[in-house]
Structure 1
Amino acid sequence: MPATTVLETRRASTLDLPVEQRLAFWDDYNASILVGLKCSSFAQTGLTATQDNLCLDRLRLARIDGNEHVVERSLPMIRSTPSESIFVALVQHSQSFFYQGDNCLLLQPGDLLLYRNDKPYLFGFSGPMRLFIFDMPASDFAEHCLRDLQGAVRVGAESPVQRLLVRSLGERVDGFFDAPRHEQAARFQTETYDLLASIISDHAGEHRASALSAAYLLAAKQYIQQHLDDPALSCEQVAAATGVSSRHLARLFAQEGGAPGRYLLEKRLARARQMLASPMGARLGVAEIAYCNGFSSQAHFARSFKARYGVTPSEVRRG
């Protein structure tokens, strides 16, 4: 596959439609690409909205711009278009409100909203808005972000760490939508999960770090992700590229209960497993996939893979 392959981005806009057709068009598009919703707008100009959508391996993305409006997901919609995925919404530009069950949340620009799609809700925007939606399988959300999400949760960007991470998240998603390169998709997905996990765990009080520490940790993870194919990559090299000592790097990862070497191995194994199961990776042998992910020998790769996932690389490929 050429290195310049661009992922397909779907786009919908109400701007060129007659006002009376916009709401029905918007509802139909969201049901086909995101989730079943009913949209209402009381603006004199009607609903003016644009939506971009990308579908990655384990993550679906939406970037929505519009004027003031309200969307509702009712019980009949849940029955007709069921979804067990978890949505993480990053609110920008406008104040908004969210009702689910007995919970009413008021949201400010920069807030994250975590909510389930198998329960009714009402989501409204009081002015010109931009919204990023991260559509995640419930199992992935539980593994990476929050183990048991029952009701809607607002994650406010009150601390310097959260503001830094939320700003980085928004900039990365915007940049990826503008240039969604196929060869960057896996790395973008991993970094997005890491950012969301860091923001949510900081909100939950699982770890507290300064904004500077969060920036160093984010830079270290990005450097590791960009050099997974380098068999000589070491913690010392990552520390030097990040601008900290090896001991300081270890302390940064310890704030999340991990270590740089363990993080590196996890990311190599995860990318190798993705390649083994993908059509593109089918053209490569197991040894080639091992070397592409920085393993110096196929035997070491096979042992590490079996220890992590309980199956061999060959068994994943056959499956």
Structure 2
Amino acid sequence: MSGGDFAVYDTSRPFTWAMSGDWRLRVYTWPRESIAVGAAELQQLTATPVRTSAGVGFFLSPMLDRLTQSAAGMSGEGAVRLACEVAELTVTAAGEASGRWRAVERGGERLREIQAFIEAHLTEPALTHDRIAQEFFISPRTLHRLFAQGGYTVSAWIKNRRLEASRRALGSPASRNLTINEIGSRFGFSTPAYFSREFTARYGVSPRRYRLESGWTRPD
């Protein structure tokens, strides 16, 4: 890699760096559970140089370079939002550089249709494997196989999308009259404790703290 280029790697897997001459390195880390990418897919994204000269890297590389200067003093809610957006952009950049997305486009049309269906029905309690399989006239085994190609399980995908929908709702003025428990329940989290635990594990901040720092201070 040359100056400004970057690559994605997974610290839970063995890796080595080889560097020579003068160099300076910035490292940005995210909790693994906060990245909605399966293990098999992540393997294909790692160790691929993302060039600063073209594509997503052209604007993302300068953004990463300036983050250490501009992120100081941000609210917790703002920092979580920014971290999530930068993570999405970084994964997208790595996918483009590795050719992963083009491969998915050739073989994943049905999977994208199913994921869009899930996104539109996140608030439905009956959003189960069988319900989704019936909607698309496929067997539950076929449904699991489609998601397994990207290293996901159906349940994990649904939970991750519900967590993201909950995060957006907690920071939205449109949901300011809903309690935290109501938001968690709306998106399928059966108990307040379960919602709080899963939200905190993914975003590093509790739902209550996230909402307070977003400016919507309705008592819950």
1:252 and 2:196 are equivalent in the alignment: no
**How far has the Cα of 1:256 moved from its partner?**
2.0
In structure 1, what is the Cα distance between the partners aligned to 2:176 and 2:115? Answer: 28
Question: Cα offset for 1:210?
Answer: 7.0
Compared CA separation, residues 215 and 308, structure 1 to 2 (3 A): same
1:116 to 33, 36, 59: 59
2:95 aligned residue: 201
TM superposition shift of 1:269 = 0.7
Deviation at 1:274, TM superposition (A): 1.3
What SS is found at the alignment partner of 1:280? Answer: helix
**Partners of 1:102 and 1:214 in 2: how far apart?**
28
Matched, 1:298 2:192: yes
Deviations 1:35-87 (A, max 9, x none): xxxxxxxxxxxxxxxxxxxxxxxxxxxxxxxxxxxxxxxxxxxxxxxxxxxxx
Change (3 A) 1:214 1:202: farther
CA distance in 2, matches of 1:265, 1:225: 11
Tell me if the contact between 1:306 and 1:312 (Cα under 8 Å) persists in the aligned partners. yes
**Cα offsets for 1:235-270 (capped at 9, x unmatched):** 221122233222222222222222211111011111
Matched, 1:272 2:163: no
Give the structure with the larger strand fraction: 1
| Residue of structure 2 equivalent to 1:223 | 117
Q: Distance in 2 between matches of 1:252 and 1:203?
A: 23
- Quick one: which amino acid aligns to residue 161 of structure 2? K
Q: Supply the distance in 2 between the matched residues of 1:214 and 1:307 (Cα, whole angstroms).
A: 29
1:143 alignment counterpart: 87
Identity percentage over the alignment?
Answer: 29
CA drift at 1:314? 1.3
Aligned-residue offset at 1:300: 2.3
What runs of 5+ residues in structure 2 fail to find an aligned partner? 1-50, 64-80, 214-220
After TM superposition, which residue ranges in structure 1, 4 or more long, deviate above 3 angstroms? 137-142, 205-211
Deviation at 1:282, TM superposition (A): 1.7
Residues 1-319 of structure 1 aligned to structure 2 (within 5 Å): 113-114=55-56, 115-116=58-59, 118=62, 142-147=86-91, 197=92, 201=95, 204-206=98-100, 208-209=103-104, 211=106, 213-319=107-213
Higher relative contact order (CA 8 A, sep 6+): 2
The 1:256/1:138 distance shift into structure 2, 3 A limit, reads farther
**Displacement, 1:139?**
5.2
Q: Give the alignment's Cα RMSD to 1 decimal.
A: 3.2
Checking the alignment, whether the CA contact within 8 Å between 1:235 and 1:260 is kept in structure 2 is yes
Q: 1:279: Cα distance to partner?
A: 1.7
- Report the Cα distance in structure 2 between the residues aligned to 1:141 and 1:225, rounded to whole angstroms: 18
Query: What SS does structure 2 have at the residue aligned with 1:264?
Result: helix
CA distance in 2 between partners of 1:102 and 1:288 (Å)? 44
Secondary structure of the structure 1 residue equivalent to 2:173: coil
Q: Which consecutive residues of structure 1, in runs of 5 or more, have no partner in the other structure?
A: 1-100, 106-112, 120-136, 148-196
State the alpha-carbon separation in 1 of the partners of residues 82 and 203 from structure 2: 20
Q: Which has the larger radius of gyration?
A: 1
Q: Is the 8 A contact 1:231 1:295 kept in 2?
A: no
With over 3 angstroms needed to count, the CA separation of the structure-2 counterparts of 1:285 and 1:139, relative to structure 1, is closer
1:277–1:316 CA contact under 8 A, matched in 2? yes
C-alpha separation in 2, matches of 1:284 and 1:257: 35
| TM-score under structure 1 length normalisation | 0.39
Normalised by the length of structure 2, the TM-score is 0.54
- The separation in 1 between residues aligned to 2:197 and 2:94, in whole angstroms, is 33
CA distance in 1, matches of 2:139, 2:105: 17
